C-alpha cells in the first residue's frame, strides 16, 4: 500500500538560511509522481514542486529543490535562503500510476522562519 511519511512535525530555521524537510514514501508501483505543497495559515494549498519517478535529475523551482533518492524512497524538499513568508505547513504527496487520480498526503511539517 502506498504511504507517505513526514517525521518532522515542526522545524525552525533562521531567515536567509537553507532548510530541508524530510519525506519518505512507500509504493510498489514503478511509476509515480511526488509533489510538495505549502499551506499558509489562510488554508489554501499551494503547489511547489514535482518529481517524476523516472526523472533522472532532481527537480528545481526557484528557491525550492527536491532531493530525490529513489533507492532510499526519499523525496526531501530543500528551501534555500528562507524568508519569513515561508512559515507554513508543508505537505509531501504521491500519486501512483500515470493518469491516476488518487493522491495521498503526508501528515505535514510546520516550518517556522525566525527573523
Partner 1 sequence: ETGVTQTPRHLVMGMTNKKSLKCEQHLGHNAMYWYKQSAKKPLELMFVYSLEERVENNSVPSRFSPECPNSSHLFLHLHTLQPEDSALYLCASSQSSGGDYNEQFFGPGTRLTVL
Compose the 66-105 pattern: x for residues touching partner 1 by CB under 8 A, - for all others. Answer: -------------------------x-x-x--xx-xxxxx
Going by C-alpha positions, the residue among 39, 3, 38 that lies closest to residue 23 is 3
Residue 20 sits in the site that holds partner 1 (CB under 8 A): no
Q: What is the grid cell recorded at 43?
A: 488554508
Cα dihedral value 38, 39, 45, 49, nearest 10: 0
Question: Cα–Cα distance between 15 and 97 in angstroms, integer?
Answer: 38
CB of 3 to partner 1, least distance (A): 10
Q: Please give the residue ranges that form the binding site for partner 1 (CB under 8 A).
A: 4, 32-33, 35, 37, 42-47, 50, 52, 91, 93, 95, 98-99, 101-108
Amino acid at each position: 500500500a502506498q504511504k507517505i511519511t513526514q517525521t518532522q512535525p515542526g522545524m525552525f530555521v533562521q531567515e536567509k538560511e537553507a532548510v530541508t524537510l524530510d519525506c519518505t514514501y512507500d509504493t510498489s508501483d514503478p511509476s509515480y509522481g511526488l509533489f510538495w505543497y505549502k499551506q499558509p495559515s489562510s488554508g489554501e494549498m499551494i503547489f511547489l514542486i514535482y518529481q517524476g519517478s523516472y526523472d533522472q535529475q532532481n527537480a528545481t523551482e526557484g528557491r525550492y529543490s527536491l532531493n530525490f533518492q529513489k533507492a532510499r524512497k526519499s523525496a526531501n524538499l530543500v528551501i534555500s535562503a528562507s524568508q519569513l513568508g515561508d512559515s507554513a505547513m508543508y505537505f509531501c504527496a504521491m500519486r501512483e500510476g500515470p493518469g491516476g487520480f488518487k493522491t495521498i498526503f503526508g501528515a505535514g511539517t510546520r516550518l517556522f522562519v525566525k527573523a
